[in-house]
Structure 1
């Protein structure tokens, strides 16, 4: 059975724009409900899909962090091209890393980084995530267990350049965090792996802004946008965005501007 890949989405509201970024092996489904929630409160939301994502693990390995960063920057410029001058950026997991990179390199109103593995020192664990994703995806495709095991073994023998690129990009972004001067919100699940729990306070301590906050979710794991405390995550994100210094014109609908 051929599975349909999730798609990028744009939900237009007023002139306050939010760039939403998903994680490694994830898709726009990671941030779709959050985007819909923010859009109901007036925000314009755009979420790009990284190349190779939303389909097979083999497709993901054909690309790498430099391609996905291009997809992120294209998403930022997509909003600019639609006429949005004031943009906040929100992302989870690898998307949280990309969020920090956007905040360091582009003009943004605010930064919301969720469960970003900025303290990752090696590529260990990244292939395991891809491997587990591959197994689940192949099961959804309806393949036999024998066929799945054969394809998973072949996956292990494919070039791992994409995985290595992720680690290099994370390290580079870690060195850039102190360039972030925009208001910053760091969100982290308390049940997430130790790598992510160590990363959250590092991000909070390193960003160069006095307008920052770190919020922990005691009953949440990694993808907190879809977890049992997701409603609180949405509310906290909205509160942060509402408190940013948007211009009065940004609060107007594009239709009436």
Structure 2
């Protein structure tokens, strides 16, 4: 077996303005590490929690649910509060964007940035994503093809009830968009599936705040924070943060 470093949360201390950074589904904090380093270089304090079940095998991931992921996010928010940060903005990509919208609905934040957020999701597509993640993870572990094939067959017969909960969680999040009264910037990749452009404009139309904007990036797919437009995205997010009342 190949040993590889397990992903983990990161905390980058800066000034009194704090940012909670939230990664995507089946991924980990590497999604937001470059953004975090950039914002930290501009004197923002950044914390990115690793959601429960993430950074491990797919078999481990499907044993967790949106409730578990939310607890990780809530823990990250409280960590910043306990560290003395009273002013917090939240930024999330994909699942992280869904969670960021929930933070904006339930907690006191100065502003919200979402990237590549789905306003609906099909359970079969979520299952396909988990299986693709499982394949990649097992290859990184250095397992033989025959063993990987056997383990993937077993995984396919497992319960994917957590994915149905994920779909329902997205639906509930969208139903609560009217509760978002704080500034929000909604970003999407023009090279991503059309759903995400639709989602961006749906969120834009349904939040209560008048301080809102939506923007697409022509060279970005789904993981915008790692795509060719990332430097433009970094500066656009910085500009948004600088426009907030802290």
The reply to whether TM is greater than 0.5 is: yes
Q: Indicate the residue corresponding to 1:149 in structure 2.
A: 149
Q: What is the match of residue 34 of structure 1?
A: 35
What corresponds to 1:80 in structure 2? 81
- 1:14-62 C-alpha deviation (Å, 9 max, x unpaired): 1100000001101000001100000000000000001111121111011
Q: Is the 8 A contact 2:197 2:216 kept in 1?
A: no
Looking at structure 1, the residues matched to 90 and 118 of structure 2 have their Cα atoms a distance apart, in angstroms, of: 17
Unaligned runs of 5+ in 1: 247-257
Distance in 2 separating the partners of 1:194 and 1:97 = 17
> Deviation of residue 194 (structure 1)?
2.1
The Cα of 1:185 is off from its aligned counterpart by: 0.2
**1:86-105 matched pairs, under 5 angstroms:** 86-105=87-106
The separation in 1 between residues aligned to 2:96 and 2:207, in whole angstroms, is 17
Q: How does 1:1-257 map to 2 (within 5 A)?
A: 1-120=2-121, 122-246=122-246
2: CA distance, partners of 1:182 / 1:239: 16
4+ residue stretches of structure 1 with deviation over 2 A? none
Q: Distance in 1 between matches of 2:172 and 2:3?
A: 37
CA distance in 1, matches of 2:125, 2:236: 29
Which shows bigger deviation, 122-131 or 109-118?
122-131
TM-score by length of 1: 0.93
State the superposition RMSD in angstroms: 0.9
Q: How far 1:159 moved relative to its partner?
A: 1.1
**1 CA distance for matches of 2:92 and 2:155?**
28
Verify the 8 A CA contact 1:183 1:210 in the aligned structure 2.
yes
Would you say how many aligned residue pairs link Structure 1 and Structure 2? 245
Task: Look up the SS of the partner of 2:118 in the other structure.
Answer: coil
1:195-253 Cα deviation digits (max 9, x unpaired): 2121110011111111111110011100000011111111111110011111xxxxxxx
User: Helix, strand or coil: the match of 1:10?
Assistant: strand
CA distance in 1, matches of 2:124, 2:110: 34
8 A Cα contact 1:113 1:186, kept in partner: yes
SS of residue paired to 2:209: coil
Asked if the contact 1:119/1:196 (under 8 Å) is kept, the reply is no
TM-score by length of 2: 0.97
Provide the C-alpha distance between the structure 1 equivalents of 2:222 and 2:187, rounded to a whole number of angstroms.
Answer: 10
Conservation of the 8 A alpha-carbon contact between 1:15 and 1:84? yes
Quote how far apart the aligned CAs of 1:2 are: 3.3
